Amino acid sequence: MADIINLRRARKAKAREDQQSQAQTNRLKHGRSKSEVRQVEAIRQKLDAVVDGARRENAED
């Protein structure tokens, strides 16, 4: 004899699995690795230092 299953629970479990697999795909497709994030942050800090160094002092101060 077959096991009785709750169709609502089965439907929700399948939807959860589909969402998790889609999320994993999106993370791989659009996400950045930790080294890429660190590299962008280092470049941003260098650019901020260059811009701060190139600022002129206000003559009114």
* Amino acid, single-letter form, for residue 35: S
**pLDDT value at position 1?**
74
In angstroms, the Cα distances linking 46 to 39, 53, 55, 56 are: 11, 11, 15, 18
- Is the Cα dihedral 4, 7, 9, 13 positive or negative? positive
In angstroms, the Cα distances linking 20 to 23, 31, 49 are: 5, 15, 41
**pLDDT value at position 56?**
78
Q: Any idea where the domains of the chain sit in the sequence?
A: 7-54
- Is the pLDDT score of 59 beyond 60? no
55 membership: H or E segment, kind and range: none
Residue 37, both tokens: 């994030």
**pLDDT value at position 43?**
95
pLDDT for 17-52, tens place per residue? 999 999 999 988 888 888 998 999 999 999 999 988
- Is the pLDDT score of 60 beyond 80? no
